[in-house]
Amino acid sequence: MKVSALAENLRGSEIIKIAGEINELKRQGQNIANLTIGDYDSNIYPIPAELKQGIVDAYADNQTNYPPADGVLLLRESVSVFLNKRLGLDYKPNQILISGGSRPLIYSTYLAVVDEGDKVVFPAPSWNNNHYCDLLKAEGVMVQTKPENNFMPTADELRPHIKGAALLALCSPLNPTGTMFHKKDLEEICDMVIAENKTRIADQKPLYFLYDQIYSQLTFGDNQHFDPVTLRPELKDYVIFIDGASKCFAATGVRVGWGFGPAGVIDNMKAIVGHMGAWSPKAEQVAMAKYIVEDDKVNGYLDTLKSRVQASLNALHNGFQELKADGFNVDSIAPMGAIYLTLKIDYSSKTTPDGTVLKDSADINFYLIKEAKIAFVPFSAFGTDDSVNWFRASVGACTLEDIEQAIPRIRVALSKLV
Ligand X SMILES: Cc1ncc(COP(=O)(O)O)c(C=O)c1O
The backbone torsions φ and ψ at residue 157, rounded to the nearest 5 degrees and listed phi first, read: -75, -35
Task: Indicate whether 243 belongs to the interface with ligand X (CB under 6 A).
Answer: no
Q: Compare residues 127 and 208 and give the one whose CB is closer to ligand X.
A: 127
Compute how many residues bind ligand X; rule: CB under 6 A. Answer: 14
Name which position in 35, 113, 124, 214 contacts ligand X (CB under 6 A): 214
Q: Compare residues 33 and 171 and give the one whose CB is closer to ligand X.
A: 171
**186-192 own/partner pairs: CB under 8 Å, 24+ apart:** 186/226, 186/227, 186/228, 186/231, 187/231, 187/232, 188/154, 188/155, 188/156, 189/153, 189/154, 189/155, 189/158, 189/228, 190/228, 190/231, 190/232, 190/235, 191/155, 191/232, 192/155, 192/158, 192/159, 192/162
Question: Which of the residues 6 through 65 are near ligand X (CB under 6 A)?
Answer: 38
Task: Indicate whether 150 belongs to the interface with ligand X (CB under 6 A).
Answer: no
Q: Compare residues 319 and 396 and give the one whose CB is closer to ligand X.
A: 396
Name which position in 70, 118, 196, 212 contacts ligand X (CB under 6 A): 212
Piece in contact with ligand X (CB under 6 A), picked from 43-51, 99-107, 198-206, 306-314: 99-107
Q: Report the nearest approach of ligand X to the CB of residue 405 (Å).
A: 26
Task: Indicate whether 103 belongs to the interface with ligand X (CB under 6 A).
Answer: yes
Name which position in 125, 228, 244, 261 contacts ligand X (CB under 6 A): 244
The pairing of strands 239-244 and 257-260 is antiparallel
| 3-class DSSP string for 269-334 | HHHHHHHHCCCCCHHHHHHHHHHCCCHHHHHHHHHHHHHHHHHHHHHHHHHHHHHHHCCCCEEEEC
Q: Is 255 left (phi over 0), alpha (psi -120 to 50) or beta?
A: left
Task: Indicate whether 246 belongs to the interface with ligand X (CB under 6 A).
Answer: yes
Name which position in 127, 208, 379, 390 contacts ligand X (CB under 6 A): 127
Convert residues 326-365 into a mask of x (bound to ligand X by CB under 6 A) and - (unbound).
----------------------------------------
Task: Indicate whether 281 belongs to the interface with ligand X (CB under 6 A).
Answer: no
Q: Compare residues 246 and 389 and give the one whose CB is closer to ligand X.
A: 246
249 CB neighbour count, 10 Å cutoff: 24
Decide: helix, strand or coil at residue 233: helix
Name which position in 80, 175, 280, 365 contacts ligand X (CB under 6 A): 175
Task: Indicate the residue type of 170.
Answer: L
- Residues near ligand X (CB under 6 A) are 38, 101-103, 127, 171, 175, 212, 214, 242, 244, 246, 252, 257
